[in-house]
Amino acid sequence: MARRQNSEINAGSMADIAFLLLIFFLVTTTMDVDSGIARKLPEKTPPDQNIDIIVKEKNVLDIVVNRNNQLLVENEFVQVTDVKRLTMQFIDNGGGLSAPKDGKPGEPCDYCNGNKLPTSSDHPTKAVISLQSDRGTTYGMYVSIQNEIEGAYNELRNKLALKKYKRSYKDLLDDYKNNGSESLKNKIDFLKDSYPQIISEPEPIK
């Protein structure tokens, strides 16, 4: 009787199969990635922007948020949704003269639509937004307030752009990104100079 030989399993291709399975799972498996929060930093103040060394109290809008996420604007409790409106009213008040520039005296704001209150900001180029937080303030609350402030500046620039150029501020920015013409840059610079972002963010309260 012939001796029966044991059949051997060819394991040579097992490594290839395992490698293919590994590639398959790497390609098809989704991984959670913390994307963070998209936040645009405040604009850098132009070097030729004339900012008073001594700032009048009426030219500063005090926004304070405490550790309980309670929001105060000029010592009055408000909601986050009120920040944009109050900021716009303050910046666009136009109650006085602009800062002197190139040896020339300041001029009144001829594009402002505010109430020209003597107790509010003199001119958009002098208006300072002070955002004071607490170490206990949540990050989400702080970012929400920043977004409202930035939205106020963008809306004021948008109104001026529609009035002067018959186009929105956003459209001008989008067009400049696409073709980068000098005329568009001059228009955007004019709008930014008319309503410059002057934001003060002191150290959080301990």
Condensed to tens digits (0 to 9), the pLDDT of residues 26-74 reads 888 776 655 555 555 555 655 555 444 578 899 999 999 999 999 999 9
Question: Is 69 inside a domain boundary?
Answer: yes
User: How confident is the prediction for the chain on average, in pLDDT?
Assistant: 85
pLDDT at 9: 57
Q: Which residues contact 90 (CB under 8 A, 6 or more apart)?
A: 61, 120, 121, 127, 129
How far is Cα 115 from Cα 12, in angstroms, rounded to an integer?
85
The answer to whether residue 68 sits within a structural domain is yes
Q: Which of 142, 115, 137, 141 is nearest to 199 (CA)?
A: 142
DSSP output for 51-111: --SS--GGGEEEEEE-TT--EEETTEEE-HHHHHHHHHHHHT---SBPPPBTTBPP-B-SS
Domain interval for residue 143 = 57-153
Domain count, the chain: 1
Contact 148/84 with Cβ under 8 angstroms? yes
pTM of the entire structure?
0.75
**Token couple for 81:** 């949704």
Q: Is residue 85 part of a domain?
A: yes
Asked if residue 52 is part of any domain, the answer here is: no
Residue 185 domain-assigned (yes or no): no
Considering only CA atoms, give the Rg of the chain.
Answer: 29
Confidence of residue 15 (pLDDT cuts 50, 70, 90): confident
Residue 168 within any structural domain of the chain: no
Helix, strand, coil percent values for the chain (each to nearest 5): 40, 10, 50
The answer to whether residue 146 sits within a structural domain is yes
Query: In this structure, is residue 80 part of a structural domain?
Result: yes
* pLDDT tens, position by position, 122-174: 999 999 999 999 999 999 999 999 999 999 999 999 999 999 999 999 999 99
- Lookup: tokens for 200: 């003060």
**Residue 18, pLDDT score:** 81
